[in-house]
Amino acid sequence: MYALSCTDGFKYPGSEPTYITDIIPVSAGLAAVGSDQSLSIFNPLRLNQGPLKKVQTNHGNISCAEVFSVGNSIVATAGENGTVSLWDLRSDAANTPVLQIGTPGEGPGLLSLACSEQTNTLAAGTELANHQASILLWDLRSPRVPKIHYDEVHSDDVTELSFHPTNPHLLLTGSTDGLVNVCDTRITDEDEVVIAAFNHGSVHRAGFLNETEVYAVSHDERFALYDMGETVEKGSPTLDLGDIRKVVDCQYLCNVIPKVTGAGAVIGAGTQDQELFRLIHLSKNGASWSLDSETVVGLPGAHGSEIVRSFCFVDEQQVVFTAGEDSCIKAWRPSV
């Protein structure tokens, strides 16, 4: 295992711990979401100076955040009161959203978001309310009402949404009903919109790995890969690792981040008892996938005995960022 050292960090002040639930790289810096309902932007080279800007979101409880525009540093947030806000983190007036969608309390709480800057589209998934869970899509050029409203794609909380890496009309959806679906959003007929479906179990994490392959992680940590290609048996996993905790000897899986080349992914897994967080490469060789035990990167000490909630990395700068339930954001680099 190749170990990195913590070279910089910031701890949110206060007597009550602030869970840092997500960190998102944008051109203006490193955006961070806190359980204190804040959205902050940090200088990634000087985390210890604290946030450059910090705004209070207006969702009751913030549940999710996604980048809409990396270059323009626009981040979308959503939460329990059913609203979506877009924030320009470059602006001096960052404490005011550039766009607010929805009326507080008018609709069900939102649990997931996906953004396509290419098509000016924002998708949101709702919690189950009145026996219905919905997926809403807005054209941000005219966001007064959703342009598409799917009510039958899932039968329980919509926990994950992700647009295809090259085809912005394809939307991956995941739910606690156990299904991971791929929808063609050019189709409005709900009987026809799902073009691929995988029965994985209550979905905690899911997303595209490349043009045809997707990963899924259930709430009980089952990890599998699926392929929506025409030559693959429909619905069956192409790789099923079962409980990932047993496979990589960890206590929880934080997230899976695909590589931009489409040739692999990085799994972030933590072990609180050992105060350790590891980055494990999922590599593809031809048509086969495998975990690469030779290139594991360790972050000893991690966030102590607290869970790491989010991580990201910048290969060019050889730095990994982590955020956790100990109120801290940390930067990790190779030891000199």
162 located within any domain: yes
CA dist 147 and 142 (Å) reads 9
pLDDT of residue 235: 83
210 located within any domain: yes
- For every one of its 336 residues, what pLDDT tens digit does the chain have, with 9 covering 90 and above? 899 999 999 999 988 999 999 999 999 999 999 999 999 999 999 999 999 999 999 999 999 999 999 999 999 999 999 999 999 999 887 688 999 999 898 899 999 999 999 999 999 999 999 999 999 999 999 999 999 999 999 999 999 999 999 999 999 999 999 999 999 999 999 999 999 999 999 999 999 999 999 999 999 999 999 999 866 777 899 999 999 999 999 999 999 999 877 678 999 999 999 999 999 999 988 778 999 888 899 999 999 999 999 999 987 788 999 999 999 999 999 987
137-to-57, 62, 161, 169 alpha-carbon distances in Å: 21, 19, 11, 11
Furthest C-alpha separation in the chain: 58
48 located within any domain: yes
Residue 183: domain span: 14-247
292 located within any domain: no
CA dist 108 and 86 (Å) reads 19
In the chain the first and final C-alpha atoms are separated, in Å, by 17
The model carries a pTM of 0.95
315 located within any domain: no
CATH number for the domain that contains residue 46:
2.130.10.10
Phi, psi of 85, rounded to the nearest 5 degrees: -125, 145
89-to-19, 312, 323, 329 alpha-carbon distances in Å: 21, 19, 19, 18
- How many separate helices (H) and strands (E) can be counted in the chain? 1, 28
132 located within any domain: yes
Is 51 in contact with 12 (CB distance < 8 Å)? no
pLDDT of residue 91: 85
| Number of structural domains in the chain | 1
DSSP collapsed to 3 states, 77-105: EEECCCCEEEEECCCCCCCCCCEEECCCC
